[in-house]
Structure 1
Amino acid sequence: MIYKTMQKILLLLVLVGALRPARASAQAAPGPDTILRLDGQEIQGRVVVLTPTELRYLPAAPAPPDTLALPVAEVFLIRYANGTREVLHPETANAGPADLLLGLNTRQRDSLGRRDAATHYRNPGALWGTFGATLYAGPIVGVVMPALVGRASVKARNLRAPQPALLGDADYQRGYQQQANRTKHQQTWTGYGTGVGAWVVLVAVILSAAISNW
């Protein structure tokens, strides 16, 4: 009887954990689009109209709610709020890393790498691995898992950059790698914390069932 109860509770916890990230993602409000000019200037807003020669956008608050225009020839790329990007400068259509980052200084390249990693890098294996290890071994032994996994750097083949060629730039790669490592570290400890909570609930249910059957 107790064993069947444990199985049902464990299955419920796994299902709730799997659904929670999807709900949080669905409820998250989209951010602004980012327009990156060839001179390195970033503009936050929402792209309204894009023609072969002109880009019209609505600036982010607190700017006046009027659309402004930019010549497409002055725009390097657009990073949309949904994580996709569009390169507009014709000379960079088939360019390598150095050309794709043309006009960006060291800080901007590093920042671009961090933003791309925050948007694209995910490691659910780290979260669910530490969750399962903690639930199986308990909080004391289970803490070893996130301590070891979270400390290890993300391997280059697992970075999942939206444009892998950009990782050839040292500044971009450094920013992307650091943010990916930070995300992995956060997910391992999130898995551990969730596992501790599930373990406590499971033990409480077992003790309650044992006392009631005493």
Structure 2
Amino acid sequence: MKKQLLLSLLLAVLVSFSGFGQDIILKTNGDEFKAKVIEITLSQVLYTLPETKQDSIHALDRKEVFMVTFANGTKEVLNQESPEQAHVPLTPTQMALLGRKDAKLFYKGTSSMWGSTVATLLFFPAVVVIGAVPPKINAREVSDIKHLSNPHYAKAYKKQAHNRKLGKVAIGAGIGIVTVSAMSVMLAMVAPGK
């Protein structure tokens, strides 16, 4: 209650000394309106409307606001996704690029590396089989699961993930070969000479 009263008093003083500046709030859905922004917090944008004579303070969720243009001309962008980007579908090429990027970023392929290491130790041709099998796409390994329904994204993701898997399989095979070689050398050194 005290905070609200203090804020209202502060607002009244600011309005009486500086007139009513016209800030512009641009929402993420593309709507914009004139207001006087009082405060931008981590979760809300607090403002008053110029057409109301009351000192009522309104609040918008910060996620709903794309940008605030202040009366002095400065701008503050609150969300990186612009209203235009929010509703424009990506082209097939953009989806393919996003698929490759996500595969590089999210697909790890470490199980393939360790599987090929063990396969090299036990039976080397199994490494070829491990490398030949395309990776399964895990929902936790994409930026947005909805992208998987786009064929351009899915194809590019699978190709990039398979390339990454092949690299991991090669590393695993290398580890296996080095391990087998080191074990052979150690056995040769320990074995009694004839």
Q: Is 1:124 matched with 2:105?
A: no
Task: State the 1:70 CA deviation.
Answer: 8.3
In the superposition, relative to structure 1, how do residues 165 and 194 fare at CA in structure 2: closer, same or farther (>3 Å)? same
CA distance in 2, matches of 1:90, 1:109: 17
One-letter amino acid of the counterpart of residue 197, structure 1: V
Aligned: 1:133 with 2:119: yes
Larger radius of gyration: 2
The Cα offsets for residues 163-190 of structure 1, whole Å up to 9 and x where unpaired, read as: 1111111111111111111111111121
Q: Are the equivalent residues in 1 in contact too, given 2:119–2:127 (CA < 8 A)?
A: no
TM-score by length of 1: 0.50
RMSD: 3.1
Give the distance between the partners of 2:121 and 2:139, measured in 1 at CA: 26
Aligned residues of 2:109 and 2:168 also touching (Cα < 8 A): yes
Confirm or deny that 1:208 pairs with 2:151.
Answer: no
Higher relative contact order (CA 8 A, sep 6+): 1
Q: 1:119-154 deviations in whole A, cap 9, x for unaligned?
A: 1011222111110121234xxxx1x12211111112
Q: What residue in structure 2 maps to residue 8 of structure 1?
A: none
**Contact 1:159–1:180 (Cα < 8 Å) also in 2:** no
Offset of 1:203 from its aligned partner? 0.4
Question: In structure 2, what is the equivalent of residue 4 of structure 1?
Answer: none
- CA separation of 1:111 and 1:53: change in aligned 2, threshold 3 A: same
**How far, CA to CA, are the matches of 1:110 and 1:197 in structure 2?**
37
Offset of 1:107 from its aligned partner? 1.7
Maintained 8 Å contact 1:121/1:159: no
Change (3 A) 1:178 1:70: farther
Question: Measured at CA, do residues 91 and 183 of structure 1 come closer, stay the same or move farther in structure 2, by a change above 3 Å?
Answer: closer
Alpha carbons of structure 1 residues 146 and 70: separation in structure 2 relative to 1, 3 Å: farther
Q: Residue 31 of structure 2 aligns with which residue?
A: none
List runs of 5+ in structure 1 lacking aligned partners. 1-49, 56-68, 77-87, 93-98
Q: Partner letter of residue 133 of structure 1?
A: A
TM-score by length of 2: 0.54
Contact 1:121 1:160 in 2 (8 A): yes
**Sequence identity percentage:** 21
| 1:192 match | 173
Determine if contact 1:72/1:89 at 8 Å carries over to the other structure. Answer: no
Mean Cα deviation higher: 147-156 or 116-125? 147-156
Task: Please list, as runs of the form range in 1=range in 2, the aligned pairs for 1:37-56 lying within 5 A after superposition.
Answer: 52-54=65-67
Pick the aligned partner of 1:171 from 152, 171, 178.
152
State the alpha-carbon separation in 2 of the partners of residues 124 and 91 from structure 1: 35
* Aligned twin of 1:83: none
Q: Given the alignment of the two structures, is residue 183 of structure 1 paired with residue 164 of structure 2, yes or no?
A: yes
User: 1:115 deviation in Å?
Assistant: 0.5
- Aligned equivalents of 1:155, 1:192: Cα separation in 2: 21
2:116–2:169: 8 Å Cα contact kept in structure 1?
yes
> Unmatched 5+ residue regions in structure 2?
1-41, 43-61, 69-74
How many residues get paired?
Answer: 126
Distance in 2 of aligned mates of 1:187 and 1:103: 34
- The SS at the match of 1:191 is helix
